[in-house]
Amino acid sequence: MNVAAVQLPAENAPEENRDRAVERVRDAAERGADLAVLPEMWPVGYFAFDAYDDAAEPVPGSTTDRLAALADELSIHLHGGSLVERDGDDLYNTSVLFDPNGELLATYRKIHLFGYDSEEATRLTPGDEICAVETDLGTLGLTTCYDLRFPTLYRELVDAGVEILLVTSAWPRERLDHWHLFTRTRAVENQSLLVAANLTGSIDGVDLGGESVVVDPWGVERANAGTDARTVLAEVALDEVRETRESFPALADRQL
């Protein structure tokens, strides 16, 4: 299968961002993508915290309806990145996954909200459930940005049967070394494929890192988007996960 990480610029321009995301996902599908992954909070650019309240919408809502129609049109699995979800009086950082018929397969409310040099933890409500979902591509696990720093979350996903880890992110450029460390480590220690889509560019004084990646179960980066707004594809196979786990049974050897 072909997987795509769609790297978008960080801009607080929701309508333009929606048009851009649709265009880029359509291009990924034309290039053969079976699964496309969008970045974190791409409609508002993540660090535009003052825009969260106005940008918030229910799920399903206008943005997810458009993504659902796109997945159906292109007949691909689409991880729609994340957006500001409004549910009653609470706001969440919520990511969404659609199947090739446009059905909303899963939502994931980010568990670990970022508080360092960020207002996310004060403006949003954390989620409290992991998200593992069976699909025709394999069992997928949804995670978001700061989650990468919490290995127990990923181990819970693997224990739930996950074979492909998906990460939607707005990772800053100043900690880009950590981005590569954690994406590779989470793939290796869980013997899983990992697809991570990051924002790029700058917003509200913060430079985003870009370098969206596809990582195999041995920690090899099979694709890297660099720092420009672009989409990268990589051909991977679910058998890579199963063969790695069988030939080097680190997961089976766990004692704790």
Exactly one of 40, 85, 120, 163 is catalytic; name it: 40
Per-residue HEC secondary structure of the chain comes to CEEEEECCECCCCHHHHHHHHHHHHHHHHHCCCCEEECCCCCCCCCCCHHHHHHHCECCCCHHHHHHHHHHHHHCCEEEEEEEEEEECCEEEEEEEEECCCCCEEEEEECCCCCCCCCCHHHHCCCCCCCCEEEECCEEEEEEEHHHHHCHHHHHHHHHCCCCEEEEEECCEHHHHHHHHHHHHHHHHHCCCEEEEEECEEEECCEEEECCCEEECCCCCEEEECCCCCCEEEEECCHHHHHHHHHHCCCCCCCCC
Query: 40 catalytic, yes or no?
Result: yes
Please give the span between the terminal C-alpha atoms of the chain, in angstroms, as a whole number. 33
Exactly one of 11, 120, 145, 163 is catalytic; name it: 145
Query: 145 catalytic, yes or no?
Result: yes
**Please, how many CA atoms are within 13 Å of residue 20, restricted to the half-sphere of its CB?**
20
Query: 189 catalytic, yes or no?
Result: no
Exactly one of 85, 110, 120, 131 is catalytic; name it: 110
Radius of gyration of the chain (CA): 17
Provide the token pair at 248: 């080097």
Q: Which residues are catalytic?
A: 40, 110, 145
